[in-house]
Every structure is written in C-alpha cells, then in structure tokens.
A and B are shown apart, each in its own frame.
Chain A
Amino acid sequence: MGPRMAKVVEVNGPLVTIELADVRTGEQVRIGRLELMGEVIARHGEHALVQMYEPTESLRPGEPVEALGHPLSVELGPGLLGGIFDGVQRPLLEHAKQHGDFIPRGVHIPPLDRGKLWCFEPNPEFRIGMQIEDGAVLGTVQETPTIAHRILVPPGMGGELVELVSACDITVEAAVARVKQADGVIAELSLFHRWPVRSPRPYRSRDDAVAPLLTGQRILDTFFPLVKGGRAAVPGPFGAGKTIVQQQIARWADADIVIYVGCGERGNELVDILESFPKLTDPNTGRSLMERTLLVANTSNMPVVAREASIYVGVTLAEYYRDQGYDVVMVADSTSRWAEALREVAGRLGQMPVEEGYPAYLASRLAAFYERAGRVQTLAGGNGSITLIGAVSPPGGDFSEPVTSHTKEIVQTFWALSKELADARHYPAVDWVESFSGYVASCSGWWAEHVDPRWAEQRAAALEILAQAEELARIVNLVGPEALSPQQRWALQGVALFREGVLQQSALDPVDSYCSPQKQFALLDQMLSIYEHGLRLLEFGVPVQELLRLPLLAEAQRLKGSYSNDQLDELRSFAARVDGEFERLHSEYAQHAKAEP
C-alpha cells in the first residue's frame, strides 16, 4: 500500500489519534508539519491510534499525516558495524554531525551511509541461469578487517539468477544482481535490503550443537555458564553491576559480533563504550573491539515508544548477522525499561492492567523476544547463533515482581546480583545461591576436552564448600566462632579463598578483567588444593590456628591479579610452593607427634 494522507484528531502525550481508514496496525506514519515518526497500534472505525517515536509537543489537531505503507523496518547491509543507532535505527553519529549535540525532531537520515563505497565480490559458485534460494550468499563485502559481510538474497526474493556483477567503489544502493522471480518479474538486488523488525527472520532449522560462550568472567564461565545461542538474564537492584556484567561480555565474549542495546539507560554508559572500545583489542582476533560492535541506543531521556522498538531493532540486526553464519551476542540493558514502555502504551490505551500496571501480554511478549535467540542452520546452509542477555531492573530489587519472575521462567541462565555483595564491593555481585545455569552439563564436555577433565567435579566441590558458608555463618551468629569445629573453621577459610581468590573479579583490574579458561581452572584448582591440604592436616592433628596463620592464604587470594593469563607457569610454581609448605607442616607435626607420643 502506498503513501496516503490524513489528519491529526487528538494528541495525548505519545499517543496521537488520526483520521484515516484503510491503514494497518504496525504501519509507519509521519505526523504533522514536523513529520514526526510513529506507528499505528490500533484501529477504531475511521480512526487509527498512533504511538509516536518522537515527542509530540507543539503538535495540533488538524495537522497532516502521511501513512507510509510499511511496518517498522531496518536497513540491513554493510556499514552497520562500529555504528550507533537510535531505537528506530537512525544513525546517531551522522545525526550529531548534521544536527548538533541535541536530537531535533522530524529528521530522517537513512541508517546506512549512502555515500560510502564498498567492494563487492560475487559468490564464485553462482552461474547465470542458476536457481538461487532465499538467504543464499550472493557475495561478500569486507565490512571491517575481520568481518566479511555476506550479502544475502533477501528472504522471499529467490529465483533464477539473471545477472551477478563484480564491482568496486559502489554504494549500498547499487544493484549487484538481478533475479527472475517465480512470477516472471525481474528484481534488482543491491547491497542492502529492509526487514520488518517485529517478524523473526527465517532460518532452515534449529541446531543443537553446543559450545560455551566464554566471557572471561570466572563466576559466569566456571560457575553459571552460558552457551552460544543461549538465553540469560542479569537481574539486580540499582548499582549491583548489571551494566558492567554486560559490558564485560561485550568486551570479552568469544563472539563474532556484539550488539549492545542501551534500552532506557544512561547516555554516559554508551559513550563509555564509544570511547573505550576502539582502543581495546578483541582477545580472539587482536583487532579493535569496535569493529565487531554495534550499538542501539534509546537512552532514558529519549522517547519511551522508541524504547519499545529498540529491542526489536537490535534483535533483527542480530538475526541478520546470524544469517550470515556468525555467532552474535546481543545484550539488552535493560529489558525492564522495555517492559515499562509496553506498560506505558497499554495504560494510555486503557488496557486492563494485570500486575503492577503491566498488561496481560507481558509474559508472552517477553517469551517471544527470547525465542529469537538460538543456534540455527541458516538458509545459506551455515551455522549461526544469537545469544541473548537481558538485564532486569526490578523495582526495589524485589525479584518477585512481574518482569523478573516471567524472565526467570524463560531463560536458562540466571545471574542474580545481590545488593549485599555489591555493598561490600564484591564484584561481580553474582549471588551463587540464587543464580542458576541449565547449561552446566552441556558445557562440561568442552571444558573436559579443552581445559581439564576434572572441571565438572572441581566446580561442584567448590560450590559445595560455598553452600556451607550460609549455614556456618548462621551458627557463628548464634553462638560465636568458638563453637565451630576445626573443620568448620577451616571451611569458613575455604569460603574466603573461593570468594576472594576466584569469584571476586574486578572489571577494572587490568590483569584480572579477562581471565582465560585455563587460568580460571588453575585458580579454582589451586583454592581447592589448599582447602584439601588443610583438611588432611587437621585430621593429622595440626591445630586450625596454625593453618589460618599461613601467609600463603592471602597470597593465594591475590593470585588472580598477580599473574596474567600468560603466566600459568607462575601459577604452577605457586602450586608447587603450596604443596611444599603443607608438606613441611606435615613433617613438622609428624616429628612433633613422634617426640611426645
């Protein structure tokens, strides 16, 4: 349906009623003399209700409206990576260049730079006259030094290949292929196409292969792992560290592409990424991190309705790179703000709120969003994945509220952040009792093969010691530490070793910010070994005070920051020293015991 004209009837905050029959829900409209962007969300007789992506101040009844004939769509093509786009994919860097520091209204700049030139390398296997399928790789454009951008036949556009060119210095709009469709029409394909954000992109099938998503964060990788194609949530009260967890993942995860969606959060957090990522290198490729990163930003002061759209814009971009055969990680900070945007619109529509003002469809919308994660066989025949990681910001830090509780049902990995840990500056403040991961069993194969066969066992042993902590702390609080047996007092020390030596990991520590899987295991193994050595000596009759005095305990807790990922040898020689030290204590006591039987 082409563009049609209508007029404004009523303006009520971000909702505008227009008079226009024949418009579809979901259709994009431009409203008023300023041409503000909006989306039709409901129809009532001759009237349509529009939610606006831009502030409606100064809009009047009677102003003109244009319906654009298509739903909210994104442009997919080379030139996305390294960029920052708003919630409806307007390019913010270009915006700042053309319109200054504040965002004006009614400005429409195409997402992909129309002036930028690319080199297109056609798929050498394709011959004219061949039947080419939806989603097939027409050719490639080197988007960044590490990412070959595969130009795909847009779904629905497959057919007989009539022409395919090799061309350099072309813009995204240049035609590179012509395809004869089933109806005989010849379609021109360029370097980009559009896709409606609320429709998941098609793929061939789901794929069950598993590989862990390695983030370099010990409490995540070792204790509550996530897999490529998995779904995770990071709930926590304000200041508990959700954003830092997500930024750490964006920095260090072994993914090909990272899409960071700042949904209703702070502008400065996005600038932080824009300023720091170009200077950081990807530990896996050695290239600047910005080359694999794409930001979608609807900060908290930007219009609420575009916030709702930003999540879909982000995940559609993620699907597009997945379809090219890449492992994509998308972090969304915060899904609560997205849910609040839903609530806001539902409230103004007069829909019946069910819990805390949220509409009844909150749970199904959340589930549908997370359903877009997964590892798939792409239409082109390769493999790609989307890992979705959503922050959740529960009011008052109360996890029983609707967004947290629905999310918890949907995700497989749940990194619960605790205020107590954050208040003690124990970061990442992931609570090891509340958190869970459904991927432990599937990850243990990878760890056994690539790092150490004892991984699953050691991990479980550490968690068991940590689990005792609560109980012991309760006893201490009732009757004091003297009431504990030597073994129990040593277990408390064991907890301290794991907390400080393994779990605590500062994102700001240059040495410890990223921890390789090998170092993760070495630290875990070291703390367990100290603990077990101690237990044996206790059995042998060595007083627990003697053990608690050992200077190597504090040293062990500082290992993580003392030796880098490349200094595993130093970690090994520390381990040897530990063995020696306990050996010495053991023989001292053996003599002692002999001397006075």
Chain B
Amino acid sequence: MSEKEYRLASAARNGLLYMRGVPDIALGDRVVVRDHSGRRRNGQVIRTSNELVLIQVLEGTDNLDLENTWVRFLDQPFEIALSPDILGRVFNGIGQPRDERPPLFSKLKRNVNGAPVNPAARAYPREFIQTGLSAVDGLNSLVRGQKLPIFSGSGLPHNRLAAQIVRQARLPGEESQFAVVFAAMGVSYSDARFFRETFADSGVLRNVTMFLNLANEPAIERLILPRAALTAAEYLAFDLDLHVLVVMTDMTHYAEALREVATAKGDVPARKGYPGYLYSDLAEIYERAGRIRGKPGSITMMPVVSMPSDDITHPIPDLTGYITEGQLVLSRTLNNLGIYPPLDIPPSLSRLMKDGIGKDHTREDHARVAGQIYASYARALEVRNLASIIGAEDLSETDRNFLDFADAFERRFVGQREDEERNIVETLNLAWELLSLLPPEALTRVGAADLDKYHRWHGTQAEQQ
C-alpha cells in the first residue's frame, strides 16, 4: 500500500478536488484528505490520468485550501468488512461504526460496488410474503426477492407503512425470519429514531444492520451508502443463507446527491438536471435484489421514494418504476380521509405477484379476484367522478352499487389499523364480501365457478322487496 501523501491539489470546488501530476492512480480508489485543521475526509477517484486526478470528496470541499491539503491514496477501492457480527450494528455511509462500539475485524472485505449478478444465475422469485396488509397481500403481493418501492410524498406515512411491513412480513404460517438491512440516506434524526424504536419494540434489533446518514450529514456519502448496505445484504443472503429485507429511505435524497456531483463534474443533464445515467445508476442499486439459483437466501428490497410535488412522472419515481418490480403508491386524498395505509390502488402494481399467488401459494381465486377488484374500483372511481357532476340521485342503481363499493373498499379493505394483521384468507374473503355489493353481471373478470363459490349478491333493491 502506497502510504505517500501528496499536496498537489490544483483546485477544489463543489465537492471535487483536482490533483495535478500524481501518476498511476487507479479509478475508484479511496483517498483520505487531511485539511489544514488536521480533519480527515474520505474521497474517491472518479477520473484519472497522469496529468490530472479527480477526487470526489464525500464530506464536501467546504473550508479546504490548496496549500495545506494533503491527500493520501489508499490504493484500494471502497470496501466494507463483513462478518455475522454486522447484525445488530449501526454504520455510517461508508461502513464505519457509529454505534460507539469497536470496528469490525474481519478478513472478509468486499468492494461496495459488487458485481452484476449473471442473469442466467438468477432464480425467479415466487414465494408469497404475507405482510398482513390487505391492499398489499390481496392486490399487490410481495414475494421473496422482489424489489417493491413505496412512492410517497412529504407528510405521508411511508415510514409507518415500511415499519409495519418489517414487523409483519413472513411466509404464511411461519414466524418472521427476515434479517433487516436498513439504509437511511438524508433522513431526519427523528425518523431514524422511529425506525430504531420500531425494531427494538418488535424485538428484531439483533437482526438489523443499519447504515445511517442523517439529513445534516455529508450528502455525497449517500452515494456510497446504499452500495455498502447492499454489500452487507448480499453477504447475509448469499453467504449466510438468510432472507434479507432491505429498507432504503429515501432514494430521492440519494438521487439529489448524485445530481449535485454530476452537475459539479459538468455531466450533460437529461431531465430536470439529473444526469442521463441516473437510470443505470439506480439500476445498479435496485438490481441487487433477488434470488440466486441454488442458494437458499434472498434479498427483498423496499426502497422509499418521495415524489417531489407528488409528481409520479418526476425522474426519480419514474426511473425507479422502470427498474423495480412494481410500486406501492401512497395517496394524499386517502390520507386526508384518515385512511391508513393510504395506498393509491390504481397506480400500485406488483409485477411478481402473478407467480407468487394462486392454488399453490395462496388461493385459487386470488389472481381473478384481484383483477376484478381493480376493474371494479376503476369503474367505481369513474362513477364517483360522475356523481360529483350530476349528483348521486341521478345515478342508475348499478352505479349506486359501485359508489357504495368504492367507499367500503377504501375504508374496510385498504384501511386497517397499524397493528392489524390480516391473513391472506381473511383478505380474500373480505374482497369477496365487498364484491358482493356488486351484481354478478358486473363481474366479468371472475369465472362463473368463483361467483358460485364466493359471491353473495343480495339482489337489487327491487328484487329484495
């Protein structure tokens, strides 16, 4: 290891340090920057030639001069030490302990960037995870190894929802056995505490590895943090054979840090100032979820993405949606009505649901009943819209049934208590109970046999009399 320190910085701005005339430096290597006060900062080489080396300084370049800044090239990439003892520990963005306990000693160190999984080595995820939330299990089921983000907005209860899922997630009929990797980027102190207490209260803290970067801490460190966290998750899942649930919050802060650095480097922006490579960069993170053939462990990922101005077409949620295997979208309207969890059903989707449900996993009618609820709720929302224009009195009887359905669906199916766990059979039965508010002719996504078995239509008012 070359321990030589250089004092050749030629420029420092926007988190970047320019070094002239340091030869043979490898791309991606770690550096330690010592400033005039002796304070150390971490950096990474992002461009290198014998004339010029460009260093991204994770703690930023504020308060640096050129004359008294010393740079040491560590001749190694960003790595984290791994051992089973990472469970129960708290680290900062680059994997150094921040829980006042001694650093981890282990021979096993891995590059935080990992390597792409060979697609031919993957195994398709198909094991249904019961979260106890009807809107998730019934309509947007999560499976082991899936990446399913929560799209949220400021003030919406995404943290509570994520925490409830962490508490309740299990395979039906089994005790929870998820190890949790919690990656927090730019979150407030109180949010970080909320998660810590949730994990402590539900007794899982021993099984949680946390990577924390708070809102007031260096933004550029957020670029390394999710990679460090996922390196830990890969170790837990594929070396220790654990089922790992990775909660990452908030990916929007991550992407903003990326934009900051990209702008400083002068990269050509694509949309809203975000660099063109935001898609690939996010994919490097999200694609680390999954399963591998012949390995018992798995990485299930639940990133939280807050949508700037509640705009789902903003590049961060948009590109996330293009990479992940569906999304759970939160609705401000339902939240204002006091419905928890305020899941906005139409734009929510789970792409891996199709292979995780049905006869062998949940129940034979699951796919059809979910499709029917979606179709009926879409129609009900149209009717509600119509009712707001022409008044509910002028609606046809069937349309009034749809109005009742929409209300009942939102309050009773989507809405539930924060400590309420419904099993999948309860969820599906509840779905049928609500579909029974609608006449059988309106239900063309389910089969005649399903209707016979589960549908309890009481007839139109005229028929009832």
Assess whether A453 is interfacial by the CB under 8 Å rule: no
A368 within 8 A of B: no
| B407 on the A face (CB < 8 A) | no
Q: Is the CB of B352 within 8 A of A268?
A: yes
A558, B279: Cβ atoms closer than 8 Å: no
Which of B32-40, B46-54, B409-417 participates in binding chain A? B46-54
Residues A437-487 near B (CB distance < 8 A): 476-482
The residues in B between 240 and 290 inclusive whose CB is less than 8 angstroms from any CB of A are 267-271, 276-277, 279-280, 283-284, 287-288, 290
Residue-wise, chain A 98-110 has the 8 Å CB interface mask toward B (1 for contact) of 0111111100000
B238 adjacent to A101 (CB under 8 Å): yes
Interchain CB contact under 8 A, A84 and B119:
yes
Q: Is the CB of A558 within 8 A of B447?
A: yes
Q: How far is the CB of A160 from chain B (nearest CB, A)?
A: 43
A424 with B346: in contact, given A60-B24, A61-B23 (CB under 8 Å)? yes
In the complex, B77 has a CB within 8 A of chain A: yes
Flag if A267 contacts B49 (CB, 8 Å). no
Nearest CB of B to A34, in Å: 11
Bound-complex Cα distance A103 to B323 (A)? 20
User: Whole-angstrom distance from the CB of A73 to the nearest CB of chain B?
Assistant: 22
A-side interface mostly = mixed
Q: Give the residue name and chain of the A residue nearest to B372 (CB).
A: A425
Report Cα–Cα, A95/B119, bound state, in Å. Answer: 10
Given A95-B118, A239-B321, A301-B288, A62–B390 Cβ distance below 8 Å? no
Chain B CB within 8 A of A597 CB: no
User: Could you tell me if A102 and B375 are in contact, using CB atoms closer than 8 angstroms?
Assistant: no
Cβ-defined contact, A480 with B386, below 8 A? yes
Determine whether the beta carbon of B321 is less than 8 Å from that of A10. no
Instruction: Please name all residues of chain A whose beta carbon is closer than 8 Å to the beta carbon of B396 when the two chains form the complex.
Output: 481
Q: Within the assembled complex, what's the spacing in Å between the Cα atoms of A371 and B28?
A: 40
The answer to whether B371 and A262 have CB atoms under 8 Å apart is no
The interface stretch among B108-116, B170-178, B333-341 is: B108-116
A264-319 with Cβ < 8 A to chain B: 264, 266-268, 270-272, 274-275, 297, 299-302, 304
Given contacts A92-B120, A266-B325, A300-B279, A61 and B47 within 8 Å (CB-CB): no
Q: Does B267 contact A347, Cβ atoms closer than 8 Å?
A: yes
Contact with B along A35-57 (1 / 0, CB 8 A): 00000000000000000000111
Bound-complex Cα distance A12 to B283 (A)? 20
Contact of A301 among B29, B117, B293, B347 (CB under 8 A): B117
Does A238 interact with chain B (Cβ within 8 Å)?
yes
Q: Does A337 contact B (CB under 8 A)?
A: yes
Question: Which B residues are in CB contact (< 8 Å) with A478?
Answer: 389
Interface size on B, residues (CB 8 A): 85
> B371 to A477, Cβ gap below 8 A?
no
- Residues of chain A within 8 A (CB-CB) of B23 are 61-62
Q: Which of A346-394 contact B (CB under 8 A)?
A: 346-347, 353, 356-357, 393
Contact call B47/A13, Cβ cutoff below 8 A: yes
Alpha-carbon distance between A146 and B30 when the two chains are bound, in angstroms: 55
The count of residues in chain A whose C-beta lies closer than 8 Å to any C-beta of chain B is: 81
The answer to whether A264 touches B280, judged by C-beta atoms less than 8 angstroms apart, is yes
| Interface contact B349-A239, CB-CB below 8 Å | yes
For the complex formed, measure the closest distance between the CB of A273 and the CB atoms of chain B, giving whole angstroms: 10
Alpha-carbon separation in the docked complex, A59 to B276 (Å): 23
Chain A contact residues, CB within 8 Å of chain B: 9-13, 17, 55-62, 84, 92-93, 95-96, 99-105, 237-239, 262, 264, 266-268, 270-272, 274-275, 297, 299-302, 304, 337, 340, 343-344, 346-347, 353, 356-357, 393, 395-398, 419, 423-426, 476-482, 500, 506, 508, 551, 553-554, 557-558, 561-562
22 contacts between A and B (CB under 8 A): A59-B26, A61-B23, A84-B120, A93-B120, A96-B118, A239-B326, A262-B119, A270-B119, A275-B123, A299-B119, A304-B277, A346-B268, A347-B267, A357-B269, A357-B276, A396-B314, A398-B313, A425-B375, A480-B394, A551-B441, A554-B441, A554-B442
Interface set of B (CB-CB < 8 Å, partner A): 23-29, 46-50, 77, 111, 113-125, 238, 267-271, 276-277, 279-280, 283-284, 287-288, 290, 292-293, 295, 313-315, 318-319, 321-323, 325-327, 346-347, 349, 351-352, 354-355, 367, 371, 374-375, 378-379, 385-386, 389-390, 394-396, 399, 440-445, 447-448
6 closest A-B pairs by CB:
A396-B313, A300-B283, A424-B378, A10-B49, A347-B268, A301-B287
Other A-B pairs, 19, CB within 8 Å; known A262-B119, A270-B120: A10-B48, A13-B47, A59-B26, A60-B24, A61-B23, A62-B23, A96-B120, A96-B121, A102-B114, A103-B118, A299-B287, A300-B323, A301-B116, A340-B270, A340-B279, A347-B276, A356-B271, A396-B318, A480-B389
